[in-house]
Amino acid sequence: MHPAQTTILTSVALLALCPAARAQNNGSILEDLVVSANALDEERADGVHGEPEWVGHRRFSNTRIYIQKDPGEVGVEQWYRTRFFDGGRVTQRLQSEVEIGLPWRMQLDIYEKVIHDNSDPEDWQQDEVAVELRYAFADWGKLWGNPTIYEEYAFTDGGPDVLESKLLFGDDCRGWHWGVNLINARELWGAKETEWAVAAGLSRTLIDSKLSLGLEGQWTHPEGDHNEFILGPSIQILPTANTHLDLVAMAGLNEASPNAECWIVFGFDFGDGAKGGGYKPTTLGGL
């Protein structure tokens, strides 16, 4: 073949390949744009252990998830819970909490509870002071469900101290966030009453890093007593990068349960507010 013909044929072939290459590149760029558009900021790795931003904001009232504070970070929370029973009985609980991030995927929480029962002639009373420690087995995403162990020791006022143990699971998928806790609480002396429970929560992000709606509940089995079931909706609002407000209203599903259990939780994070913060308390038993 003449050299000129060879050159012409080669040029034609290259021209024919260029649109295909451009189409492939455009497709790749479009795919990247779609992925980026679908990715939520609150689900991107944010903490030193790879945990996403939403984990740092207490999403569920009774269900804890992973480690919520990076080493050296500190947060505070104020909790208010009220329960309504047959006969007009109403109990209230106020809880103040400090959360401290520790090295090696650990977190320390210290909190105090005071309670009020309208069937009791006493006014507000001291309930307990508790210390909680969590340990995550691996960085976020390395193990299914991001398992974390939770141990809490409660110094109760006028009763036996209580040791509460939990195994925490939680993860996310395209705007859906979930958590499940396996719980055991037991008195250390006296009657040595024991309680088993499963708490779970599911939420859907409506506005990235600002608003989510969810459903949460808990099954509780006090040994020697009747099981309790509560279930209901929740909403979380994040007014700023370092604050969050949770509102929860759960209904009792059987006669042994309270008619309703409602929560208001407000949290504030010191330090690097852009990384979220930490939130968690206790729930099992009590008023």
Which residue type occupies 264? Answer: I
How many Å apart are CA 229 and CA 254, to the nearest integer? 6
pLDDT, one tens digit per residue, over 9-58 is 444 344 344 444 444 555 554 444 333 446 899 999 989 999 999 999 99
How many Å apart are CA 287 and CA 282, to the nearest integer? 12
pLDDT of residue 38: 60
Contacts of 167 (CB under 8 A, 6+ apart): 147, 148, 149, 150, 181, 182
| 174 vs 286, residue with greater confidence | 174
pLDDT, one tens digit per residue, over 177-197 is 999 999 999 999 999 999 999
Task: Read off the pLDDT band of 278 (50, 70, 90).
Answer: very low
Task: Read off the pLDDT band of 138 (50, 70, 90).
Answer: very high
Find out whether 50 and 143 touch, Cβ atoms under 8 Å. Answer: no
How many Å apart are CA 176 and CA 131, to the nearest integer? 31
How many Å apart are CA 63 and CA 250, to the nearest integer? 14
In this structure, are strands 260-269 and 90-102 parallel, antiparallel, or unpaired? unpaired
